[in-house]
Amino acid sequence: MKYLLILCFIIGVASNCRINFQNREFNLDFERVRNNASLPEGWRKEGVCKVIMEKRDKYEGKYAIKIFSDGIGCQPGGFIQKISAQYEGSSIRLEGFMKTKNVEDGFAALSLRIDDENGFPLEMNFMESENIHGSNEWKKYSIELPFPPEAEDIYIGGILLGKGEVLFDDFSLSIDGKDIQSIEKTDKIEKVYPADLDNEFSHGSNITLSNLSDQDIVKLDLLGRVWGFLKYYHPAIAEGKYNWDNELFRFLPDYLAVNSGVERDRLLVEWIHGLGDVFPCENCPSATEGAVLVPDLDWVHDQQESLKETLLHIYHNRNQQKHYYIQAVPNNDNPLCNGNPIFSNEREYAGATYPDDGIRLLCLYRYWNIIQYFFPYKHLIDRNWNEVLTEYIPELIEADNGLEYQLVVLKLIGEIQDSHAFLQGDYRIQKLRGNYYPPFRVGFVEDELVVTDFYDLGYSTEADVLLGDIILKVNGRSIQYLLDSLSAYYPTSNEAGRLRDLSLDLLRSDKDKITIEVQRGNVNHQKPLSLYPKEDMEMYNFFKIPLGKSYRLLDGNIGYITLANIKYGDIKSIKEEFEDTEGSIIDIRNYPSTFVPFILGSFFVSDSTIFVKYADFNSTHPGEFNLRNFKPIPPSPYMYKGKLVVLVNEVTQSQSEFTAMAFRAGNNTTIIGSSTAGADGDVSTIMLPGGLRAMISGAGIYYPDGTETQRVGIVPDIIVKPTIKGIRKGRDELLEKAIEFIHTPQM
């Protein structure tokens, strides 16, 4: 799992790096820093972890780079730099100093990757085998790889997977033992696309859109569709001949000035013809037989004849080569790298957290069209996706400030109903929500917001709440009122996931005190509640990471395994120690710390077993997705004979659901619990204006018979949910039911 996560991470980062070097001075010691920059010159952050310049703790010089995680951990996070491979030699070596502090549930590493001209990895190493974890003082590490003659790009960087923090300093890169800073470059010239050189609107579109009429919205709706259609189908745009953002900004003023449908269509056709001739395609079929999704082109057929014929000509002779704006993660039967789209060369416009009117419109066009052509679960969206484009044109244009802009974008993302669809860079929203939290955990139990655990016993004693207390109101507002007000800003696949996410924030505030109304028994009382920064408490988001081993024997000869802290090294011991147990319980009410569907799943199958199919996009036919077979779980020499029970709930999401599917394929498996989050398939990142990043599920996950899991989740065989009475008594009712089930003779 960690290998796959890192592979996806590095591939995703590489696709988004557009750093062009004009000389051979690479900032490998991190000492070259621009004013107000968050990282040294030439280095780029990627992932959900925090990556900053460090001035106090460094190996030498003035600066180091630090990666550190919150309570969730990095999956992974890091920084990277791209260097053109314009050198000759047989081997390449990256060296650098690292210092780690409390790294757990993963490792810290240098990373080195060599790509070919198509962006596919020829060689790669990220030091997983060295398993650098725990706390270590400054030490020099190195990676050495063959340097293939067909190398096009070199990617170097640092990575943290898991929790803790790691510092990096004083990198060096050499080829055949010679410092890259002093080696003469060969005549190999890095390809520069015309789109890369077009920077006219880097700091703003100069477009003003105000007082939009209904006719204006209709025109902008059509333009958004045409713009996206051309972006992904037109060969000239695919070849990087045009910066397609900038072409939009150039076209908009004239387009908005037309007053009739005939003039509008004439202008669109002239614009399209101005992109150059589109030559006949010898093999551009309408769709692959058996495709699970095909492009929605009904709107094209609804246009007047001249525009329709122009668009259909492009569609039937669409791009079939490498695409400037789209790449795919290589599919090497890697469970989390199964052909996900990489949205490359998307400009961030990060300089303005409140972009101008034209760039806000671009944000909508970019996101809407990515979902239109590259979201594997578009058919599962409740709303008509065409209506979403129309609705959000005025919403984004009328957003009056940076906060409103981020809120509208967050609501837009929620429309796709995908629990992977979270937003990064939304610091204005996070500031609004606040950094103060209650010293206890709440969750929805029997449709009530209930105290379920304590983060900090000292603070919780002061709060005067007990397990099982019901929170009725916050600052005088009912919980139902808060749910109705906030739900649109919490993107999730289903209601179980939405309540899970909302429960973390309902008592959160930008102030350190709130008022709550609490019900205990038949008595309601209102009381003040002190809140605290999360760093002052042992706060966790959805599940605790247990101390000690990931497995143990329960009374009654039953094995128990939690995936929250399982390690590869545990698997052999689990198989040996649990071999003769009456039953085993695998708890996936968490996120697995190690990828185990195959290595542990093999213990529970008697034959080679297919447990999943996936749908990936067709890069030569955007909008099409096809089901692929996935590699089977291999059987172990010895198959487990006891009952297997898998525990799931609303925390079970993504890899957790994928893992539950693998265990469900076992010969004697029963799943107990409640609805899971319903978001499976690896995540793809979308860069949005204003320094925002949105995520989506990038590949469709299905059972072997074609049954979908997205939004539905893993449906338990036996539904069991916690009760308020059980919470008050400190019981784990799902675990109790699992034990009871194992001890009950089969009929």
What pLDDT, on the 0 to 100 scale, is given for residue 24?
47
What band does 74 get if pLDDT is binned at 50, 70 and 90?
A: low
Task: Report yes or no on 484 lying in a domain.
Answer: yes
Task: Report yes or no on 477 lying in a domain.
Answer: yes
* 2 DSSP 8-state letter: H
* Residue 14 or 645, more confident: 645
Cα gap 288→294, rounded to integer Å: 9
Task: Report yes or no on 75 lying in a domain.
Answer: yes
% of residues, the chain, pLDDT over 90:
74
Question: In 3-state terms, what secondary structure has residue 245?
Answer: helix
Q: Residue 521, class by beta-carbon neighbours within 10 Å (0-12 exposed, 13-18 middle, 19+ buried)?
A: exposed
User: Rounded to 10 degrees, what is the CA torsion of 471, 474, 477, 481?
Assistant: -60
What pLDDT, on the 0 to 100 scale, is given for residue 608?
93
pLDDT beyond 50 at 336: no
Task: Report yes or no on 634 lying in a domain.
Answer: no
What pLDDT, on the 0 to 100 scale, is given for residue 107?
87
**Residues 572-585: what's their mean pLDDT?**
96
- Which range of residues forms the domain containing residue 127? 2-179
What pLDDT, on the 0 to 100 scale, is given for residue 192?
85
Instruction: Report the sign of the C-alpha dihedral through residues 226, 228, 233, 234, in that order.
Output: positive
What band does 340 get if pLDDT is binned at 50, 70 and 90?
A: confident
Selection from 219, 241, 220 nearest residue 231 by Cα: 241
Cα gap 83→672, rounded to integer Å: 51
Task: Report yes or no on 590 lying in a domain.
Answer: no
What pLDDT, on the 0 to 100 scale, is given for residue 685?
92
Cα gap 605→110, rounded to integer Å: 38
- Which range has the worst mean pLDDT, 40-49, 257-266, 649-658? 40-49
Last residue of a domain, one of 476, 510, 536: 536
Question: Which tens digits make up the pLDDT trace of 263-292?
Answer: 999 999 999 999 999 999 988 888 888 899
What band does 20 get if pLDDT is binned at 50, 70 and 90?
A: very low
What band does 429 get if pLDDT is binned at 50, 70 and 90?
A: very high
DSSP one-letter string for 275-306: T---PPPSS--S--TT-SB----HHHHTS-HH
Task: Report yes or no on 334 lying in a domain.
Answer: no
pLDDT beyond 50 at 15: no
**Residues 516-522: what's their mean pLDDT?**
95
Last residue of a domain, one of 156, 179, 202: 179
pLDDT beyond 70 at 671: yes
CATH number of the domain to which 491 belongs: 2.30.42.10
User: Rounded to 10 degrees, what is the CA torsion of 219, 408, 495, 492?
Assistant: 90
Cα gap 500→597, rounded to integer Å: 25
What band does 128 get if pLDDT is binned at 50, 70 and 90?
A: confident
What pLDDT, on the 0 to 100 scale, is given for residue 456?
81
Task: Report yes or no on 110 lying in a domain.
Answer: yes
**Residues 719-747: what's their mean pLDDT?**
96
Task: Report yes or no on 120 lying in a domain.
Answer: yes
What pLDDT, on the 0 to 100 scale, is given for residue 335?
34
What pLDDT, on the 0 to 100 scale, is given for residue 248?
98
Cα gap 582→579, rounded to integer Å: 9
Last residue of a domain, one of 160, 179, 198: 179
What pLDDT, on the 0 to 100 scale, is given for residue 588?
98
* Residue 462 or 297, more confident: 297
Instruction: Report the sign of the C-alpha dihedral through residues 305, 308, 310, 312, in that order.
Output: negative
What pLDDT, on the 0 to 100 scale, is given for residue 73?
59
Name the pairing type of β-strands 91-115 and 523-530.
unpaired
Cα gap 723→445, rounded to integer Å: 6
Instruction: Note the pTM of the prediction, 2 decimals.
Output: 0.80
CATH number of the domain to which 137 belongs: 2.60.120.260
**Tokens at residue 247, please?**
């072409």
**Residues 309-316: what's their mean pLDDT?**
97
* Residue 116 or 463, more confident: 463
What pLDDT, on the 0 to 100 scale, is given for residue 232?
98
**Tokens at residue 690, please?**
């204003």
Question: Which tens digits make up the pLDDT trace of 142-166?
Answer: 999 999 888 888 999 999 887 889 9
pLDDT beyond 70 at 597: yes
146 CB-side CA count, 13 A: 6
Alpha helices in 339-381 (DSSP H): 357-374
% of residues, the chain, pLDDT over 70:
93
Number of other residues whose CB lies within 10 A of the CB of residue 145: 18
Domain count, the chain: 2
What pLDDT, on the 0 to 100 scale, is given for residue 205?
96
Question: Which tens digits make up the pLDDT trace of 227-243?
Answer: 999 999 999 999 999 99
* Most confident stretch, 115-119, 258-262, 606-610, 643-647: 643-647
Question: Which tens digits make up the pLDDT trace of 181-237?
Answer: 888 888 766 678 999 999 999 999 999 998 899 999 999 999 999 999 999 999 999
What average pLDDT does the structure give for the chain? 91
